[in-house]
Chains A and B, each alone.
Chain A
Amino acid sequence: MALTGVQIYKFLPKTNCKECDFPTCLAFAMKLAAGGVELAACPYVSDEGKAALAAASKPPIRLVTIGAGEKKIEVGNETVLFRHEKTFVHPTGLVVRIKDTASADDVAKTVAEVSGYSVDRVGMTFGLDGFAIQNDSGDAAAFAKCVETVSSKSDLPLILMATDPAAMSAALGKVGDAKPLIYAATKDNIDQMVELAKKCGCALAVRSSDGLNELAELTEKAIAAGVEDLIIDSGVRDFAGTLTTLTQIRRLALAKRFEPLGYPVITFPGEGASSLDEEAVLAAQHIAKYGSIVVIDNFTPALALALITMRLNIYTDPQKPIQMKPGLYQIGEPKAESPLCVTTNFSLTYFSIAGELEGAGWASWLLVCDTERLSVLTAWSAGKFDAEKIAKTVKGENAAEKVSHRNVIIPGGVAVLRGELEEELPDWKIMVGPREAMAVGGYLKENWKN
């Protein structure tokens, strides 16, 4: 838990020397508590004070990196239990499991499908984050070969899953400096796994077979041995158990500052589910409730799309709603004579109107103006959705080349812009649509004559 200004003040020299550029030590402490300045700005703080303040400012859930390079996965650093309290910060890493018992062809196929998987949502591109390769064969050589195959075909981060330290060691030898996650240290092999993690500078996953006490015991052991980049696995797999356990881990880390469990959590929804759609539901639960790495067994495009979307939604900062990239969007397969509607780039506004047009079966052109994520009326009253902005977007997106008519429909909420817009767009007829997206189907039926 962060310290208050007054608590920090106790560790400062209280000399008001002003060398930190603040008039008093208390003023500096207040600014420090608010995160506006670094402790290093005070030249006189004692070592004891530094240690105490460093411990207090340590994030309650450690930030851990898996992989190296541009595509590395960063998870942790979460500060809230509920997304509305602030926001969730590091989106869940979605990785696909491959077993070393699969044929070389199947492995190659999965690697190609998963690493090539990409979807566009709200004007951005998203994909999957990595592979977990499991030593199911029990054979160290087969495992190493499988790891080598995957790593040669993809630059996505890897999780190496084996309990035999010899197999892990052999596989680590095949991946160079790729910094995979070592999964997993258990009570039977922790000493050797810790050594491997230290040797190659990789993050280490720790798995309990008997609840949170054993898990905390294992992380303390790893930390004592010098490995701090940890990912934790409670060993629990089912719906109710993971919800309860992951909630308890998050609460312990945040509310109790219980350091042994202040690490990102890895989950395996496929092991708690008996079908693909059940795995999807459990994986979605893990995205919402505290899974930092979710390992998928049944990869299909539909499942990946749903989970990527869930992650995008849950990890959206409530203070910064999802925005649509401004532009001219197609609803259905519009023709040159299809309606042209104007809206804002607040995602919910876009989704409402796009959904209604889609639902009512109106293939149309939807022109999204950059209103800085504000809805129609809010944007209008903030001066971010005016005639000039609409006219500029109509011209900038070359709407006149896409449609053969010259009718543009503006939201009913900004009917007042009509006159001004007629001046800005003299070649166009400005039509005033309904105030509510829900009424657009009826409005078009009544007013749109092809």
Chain B
Amino acid sequence: MPDVEIPVEKWTGTIKEVKLGGGGRKEVVVGGETTLPFLTFEGSIPNPPKIAIEVHDKEPSTWPALLLNAWGDAVKDPGTWAKKAAELGADIICLKLLSAHPEGGNTGAAEAKAAVDKVLSAVDLPLVVIGPGVAEKDNEVLTASSEAARGQRVALGNCEEKNYRTVAAVCISDGHVAIAKTPLDINLCKQLNIMLSDIGVPLDSILMDPDTGALGYGIEYGYSINERLRLAALGGDNMTALPIINHAGSEVWRQKEARASEGVPEAWGDQEERSVIWESVTASSVINAGCDIVVMTHPKAVERVKATINKLMGK
């Protein structure tokens, strides 16, 4: 009779634990893994992946009706929206300051502070704050957000290769976590972590956003980059041994498969079923590849992925 000897990898690396929240706010810790996602037979997963729900500082102007209807009037106010997200099971709120974009309202520090304040007072969950993605405006609104959330350890993003000093500096001075964003490239990802570390951001205060595409739109890149980062980290590379954050929801809801209610082939099926599956599959795939915080959008997909994480953790 064959005796199957299960091969067990002896990993030497541990993912840094990164704490969000505190200062009266609920604390959430991510990272700490000593094994590949959910393979607890050869290491531990002290902190299961967390779900952040996306909340905007203004009513979304490009969302399809199906997604808007799923949230109802809550999307008109970031505080109300965050509260509803918390009720739907969010572990973290991801506030996107989109109105600060030069083409989306060009609001400034005062409006950013007001939005952060609203979310902070509406819920006791930890916060991720993402700027509009334009260097000058990011620096302005993230600095304001940092002040508004001082002492409550939020994550601020994005730090990018061309623009990381200001955000990194406010993270250091206000004790927040910096999100290092790179475009689907493991080497650039590691390099940015090193640059942030060099200017004094502690490694337990960095989250990596190595980027991903949605299912059908480059998810294979995000999937493999997550896997490669995690393998490098468990192999002992400290500069990749950081928790990963992926924006699965917003990637999915840019795509036709989620957005289109009509004018699509019959083989695409029902829009709600399709879009919820699309976001659920995208989110659970990046989690299976190493994501620690997945940022999501549709309530039903959140529910599905939350249940999936529990099942993968054997609960």
Contacts and interface: CB of A to CB of B under 8 A. Distances in A.
A16 B264 CA distance: 66
B266 A301 contact: yes
Contact of A310 (B259, B274, B285, B313): B285
Nearest to B309: A239
Contacts of A302: 268-270, 273-274, 277
A372 to B, nearest CB: 18
Given A248-B6, A260-B2, A360-B62, A119 B265 contact: yes
Contacts of B40: 244
A351 B217 contact: yes
A47 interface: no
A146 B3 CA distance: 40
Nearest to B253: A359
A240 B309 CA distance: 9
A213 B1 contact: yes
Interface string A214-244: 0011001000000000000000001110011
Interface residues on B, range: 35 or more
Contacts of B268: 119, 301-302, 305
A278 B267 contact: no
A277 B273 contact: yes
Contact of A240 (B257, B273, B312): B312
A301 B40 CA distance: 35
Interface in A235-286: 238-240, 243-244, 247-248, 251-252, 255-256, 258, 260-261, 276-278, 280-282, 284-285
B308 interface: yes
Contact of A119 (B133, B219, B267, B308): B267
Interface in B162-217: 184, 213, 215-217
Nearest to A83: B224
Contacts of B263: 333
Quick one: which of A211, A256, A280, A347 has the most chain B CB within 10 A?
A: A280
A172 interface: no
Given A212-B4, A302-B274, A303-B269, A359 B308 contact: no
Contacts of B41: 244, 248
Nearest to B6: A248
Contacts of B219: 310, 313
A358 B216 contact: no
Given A120-B265, A281-B281, A347-B218, A244 B304 contact: no
A306 B277 contact: yes
B24 interface: no
Interface in B220-275: 220-221, 223-224, 227-228, 231, 254-257, 259, 263, 265-270, 273-274
A438 B133 contact: yes
Contacts of A355: 217, 254-255
Interface string A102-121: 00000000000000011111
Contacts of B256: 358
Contact of B280 (A119, A213, A281): A281
B38 interface: yes
Interface of A is mostly: helix
Contacts of B184: 348
B39 interface: yes
A300 B273 contact: yes
A123 interface: no
Given A82-B231, A288-B285, A318-B224, A252 B4 contact: yes
B105 interface: no
B65 interface: no
A316 interface: yes
A285 B277 contact: no
List 9 tightest A-B contacts by C-beta distance, closest first. A302-B269, A301-B269, A302-B274, A239-B311, A216-B2, A313-B220, A84-B224, A351-B217, A309-B216
Interface of B: 1-7, 38-41, 62, 103, 133, 184, 213, 215-221, 223-224, 227-228, 231, 254-257, 259, 263, 265-270, 273-274, 276-278, 280-281, 284-285, 288-289, 300, 304-305, 307-308, 311-314
Given A348-B221, A441-B103, 11 more contacts: A239-B311, A239-B312, A252-B7, A280-B277, A284-B284, A288-B285, A301-B270, A306-B215, A312-B216, A318-B220, A355-B255
